[in-house]
Amino acid sequence: MISGGGTGGHIYPAIAIAHAWKEKFPESEILFVGAEGKMEMEKVPEAGFAIEGLPVAGLQRSLTLKNLSFPFKLLASLNKSKRLVQSFKPDAVVGVGGYASGPLLYVAQRKGIPSLLQEQNSYAGLTNKILAKNANAICVAYPEMEKFFPLSKIHFTGNPVRKDILSLEGKKEKALEHFGLVSDKPVMLVLGGSLGARTINNAMVASIRHFEEKGYQVLWQTGRIYYMEMQDHLEKAELSHIRGLEFIKEMDLAYATADVIVSRAGALAVSELSLVGKPVIFIPSPNVAEDHQTKNAMACVKQKAAFILKDDEAEERLATQVDELMDNLELRKKLGANIQKLGKPKAAQEIISVLESIIK
């Protein structure tokens, strides 16, 4: 059983682990457990796996009436988790973070079922920190995670990513056709996560005229929250080279066609972009625990593997930084080669090996 979710940063590693396990043990059964109404309830079935939803919800940090229902939802989720574990009888459970993983992992650990946690970030999430004490193994993507977890349980595996992005060779022509792009103009890929990033979207609005005049083709994932608003900007501007997309499902094709990538610096984004090997401008979100996105991005910048723009500088400086990369092929090649050295393409297989060992 694999549990967790809430964001793509939790869901896609979970799906990658499931695919790697199924590849090695095709006869085995896998059941996902997520939070009702969250994106895992859609993305997991799309990937070909069964999922059950729990009524669990996160505890709001601010004083709000929503918190009054928290204990009732938690109790209902624990009871449903007990029923699921009893009926499915898993040989092991995997928690990928997010509050959705809490009830199932807690129940499984109490029953003595082997459990593995996968922590994507350089700053451990609250749910994983709580579950770590009774976990058999903890797979991490960053060094120095012993400040959060017992050192004896830590395995430095990296973050598993979607299999389709591990090989982009020969996909550019198909990618150009898929997105309706031409081969003689440079392509800029802009990513703010599945929900979207306000700062990146505002920076794009401030710069879209400039990008159009420069002749850049832009694939812009606006995110679900901001899609309609950004579409209004694009329609008013009447641009021919800039495409606003709510969500890009075919990420391998998007990466294959990109000459320059602009992205937040969440753990999964950094892990994927390290394997893609393209020049990146990271704009870390300041609204995360311990500013871990800046730490993720700086790990690349220190290796001369990426550019970084502070959140409050993005609107003013994005166009200049993109131009600097678009105008310098050698710099693009250097950044792409350096970031690729940081990638861990076998992360999913290493996690499967750890999972096997705790079952045995």
Q: What residues contact 352, with CB distance under 8 A and at least 6 apart?
A: 17, 20, 21, 24
Distance, CA of 265 to chain centre: 9
Mind giving me the DSSP string for 282-331?
E---SSSGGGHHHHHHHHHHTTT--EE--GGGHHHHHHHHHHHHHT-HHH
Binding residues, as ranges, are 7-9, 121, 162, 194, 248, 293
Q: What residues contact 149, with CB distance under 8 A and at least 6 apart?
A: 119, 124, 128, 129, 132, 138, 140
CB burial string 306-333: b at 16+ within 10 A, e below = bbbbebeebbeebbebbbebbeeeeebe
Binding residues for UDP-N-acetyl-alpha-D-glucosamine, as ranges, are 7-9, 121, 162, 194, 248, 293
Query: What backbone phi and psi angles, to 5 degrees, belong to 309?
Result: -125, 130
Is the Cβ–Cβ distance between 165 and 272 less than 8 Å?
A: yes
| Neighbour tally for 58: CB within 10 Å | 17
Spatial separation of the C-alpha atoms in residues 200 and 206, rounded to whole Å = 10
